[in-house]
Structure 1
Amino acid sequence: MTAIGAGSGSGIGTTLVTGATGTTGSRTAAQLTAAGHPARAAGRKAAPVAGAEPVRFDWYDPGTHAAALDGVDRVYVIPPVGDPAPAAVVLPFLRRARAAGVRRAVLLSASSIPEGGPAVGQVHRALPVIFDEWAVLRPSWFMQNFTGDHLHATSIRTEGLIRTAAGTGRVGFVDADDIAAVAVQALTEDRAPDTDLVLTGPEALSYDDIATVITEVTGHPVAHRPLSYEEMRDRLATQMPEEFAAMLAGMDRAVAEGAEDRVTDSVQRLTGRPAGSFRALVERELRLLG
């Protein structure tokens, strides 16, 4: 299958990548520059990312926005992490971006948040009103949650355990590299998707399945320990605000009820190649238990 817009996007202007040091932002900036597309890596510390031009950017400091937008004609929008109402800062920025000449915006949301839903769902609703060219990426849970700095990864390394309130529910875990690849296509192809895209990996896996794959590939025993919603909420509340802990535990409960048990072909359709599997990711990142 040929990727949508394959070979297109020649002569595009600079893409501003917000959250450029994060999981998908860093990968998107790197893939853009590797493909020869000019990119500006926006972050609070203006750190260089894989050849992208660094620029200081803080969602909560409008004084940093004009310089970040100078000469930009498209933007990858990663809302501020942990903000329960990101529309309050993201929408004014997007309106300013449009007035400054930005033609296309690609927003990172989540599979669990529909248009008009809470938090970033409000930004999703407004995006096509502000921009004629747009896309909303709604990835499922990141595979990198088990290999990076996430609570699951830490627990795997220190205890050989994954604790969730998801029961036997399954999730179409997706590789962040694939999310970035879709973002690059949505940003650079001649025609914007002008829709939202639910992104998953090639199969839906339970947390028991995840533990089994890690055990088989690494040789280190890992087990899934199911918790109740209340146990998960209270455990998380020792490490974050109670409201956020309750939301995350609630997302696990939704998984247990089947909310994320789905697989889409969005990665294949946008990039022209199959989504990567979790086993392939673990084989690639054997250091996850190091």
Structure 2
Amino acid sequence: MSDRATSPTDSVILVTGATGTTGSRVVSRLAGLGHAVRAAGRRPVAPGDTRAVRFDWYDSATHADALRGADRMYLIPPIGEPDPAAVMLPFLRQARTGGVRRAVLLSSSAIPAGGPAVGQVHSLVAELFDEWAVLRPSWFMQNFTGQQSHADSIRTEGAIMSATGEGRIGFIDADDIAAVAVRALTDPSAPNTDLVMTGPEALNYDAVAAVISEVTGRPVSHRPLTYEQMRDRLATGMPEEFAALLAGLDRAISEGSENRVTDTVERLTGRPARSFRAYAESAMR
């Protein structure tokens, strides 16, 4: 299977979170393939961009314009929301009634259907839509660049802080996630399943720090924290309940929950997933 999507149609594909890490990449790929895209977000994608529409999960007045004419949609849950299902359900029902037939949800490899937070949305999407997919990527490689928390601690403290211990993670490039999302949105048949996605290797944070050090020429280490230390550190910038959830995921990683590699990217796009070293050499030099 190639990375080329099916031919464009007259339908509109709605992309929520269109300025975010995966949403922006999905918009770019879809537009490049000639699909009609509606880029929805709380701030414009670009001044004067006719594809852009204001969208806020917490403001129902923005929902109708986002959905107008759409029959497929890419869903990014509200960031930091401990109960995204309660926030998203009215919109999902409105979308279903309004003619959206296919929904592709971004979730997490750590959270199965029926699990906490976005795991509840996973179940709703499967129940409400005849055509659907739930993308369950592992941790993003982009967490180590840009304005992300790990990137910030690398810049300011020369360290990655986590409660993962020696646990391994199949870090994945957001470009690979976007490529799979485009296939899930545009292929003639929807996956109608969840897709656990990883990079080609599982690494612990010590190995990640070593690669970053080699690529950048600056010493970077992994500084292990306890669950409580990680929870309290995260809680300085997000609701305590969500901080506890994320710290709990770190603890699960330390117990081996993310020590796996899947072939999802290559199986759906026809090309192998990008390695962390290749990403680092491209993004960190």
Of 96, 99, 122 in structure 2, the residue corresponding to residue 101 of structure 1 is 99
Gaps of 5+ in 1: none
Contact 2:80 2:239 in 1 (8 A): no
Which residues in structure 2 correspond to 1:97-246 (within 5 Å)? 97-246=95-244
Residue 63 (structure 1) shift? 1.1
- Aligned-partner Cα distance in 2 for 1:210–1:74: 37
- Aligned-partner Cα distance in 2 for 1:175–1:260: 16
Under a length normalisation based on structure 1, what TM-score does the superposition of the two structures give? 0.94
- Aligned-partner Cα distance in 2 for 1:151–1:10: 38
Residue 7 (structure 1) shift? 5.1
Contact 1:152 1:163 in 2 (8 A): yes
Partner of 1:63: 61
Partner of 1:24: 22
- Aligned-partner Cα distance in 2 for 1:242–1:7: 41
Residue 231 (structure 1) shift? 1.9
Which residues in structure 2 correspond to 1:1-80 (within 5 Å)? 2-3=1-2, 8-11=6-9, 13-48=11-46, 53-80=51-78
SS at 1:110 equivalent: coil
SS at 1:171 equivalent: coil
SS at 1:21 equivalent: coil
Gaps of 5+ in 2: none
1:141-184 deviation per Cα after TM superposition (whole angstroms, max 9, x unaligned): 01100012111100111111011111110000000010011000
SS at 1:211 equivalent: helix
Q: Name the aligned partner's letter for residue 271 of structure 2.
A: R
1:179-226 deviation per Cα after TM superposition (whole angstroms, max 9, x unaligned): 011000000011111100001000000000000000111111100011
Contact 1:9 1:190 in 2 (8 A): no
1:34 to 1:91, Cα distance in 2 relative to 1, 3 A: same
Contact 2:134 2:195 in 1 (8 A): yes
Partner of 1:264: 262
- Aligned-partner Cα distance in 1 for 2:48–2:274: 22
Identify the range of structure 1 (231-240 vs 210-219) with the bigger mean alpha-carbon deviation: 231-240
- Aligned-partner Cα distance in 1 for 2:48–2:283: 20
Q: Percent identity?
A: 66
- Aligned-partner Cα distance in 2 for 1:11–1:152: 40
Partner of 2:252: 254
Q: Name the aligned partner's letter for residue 161 of structure 1.
A: A
Identify the range of structure 1 (133-142 vs 227-236) with the bigger mean alpha-carbon deviation: 227-236
What is the Cα-based RMSD across aligned positions, in Å? 1.7
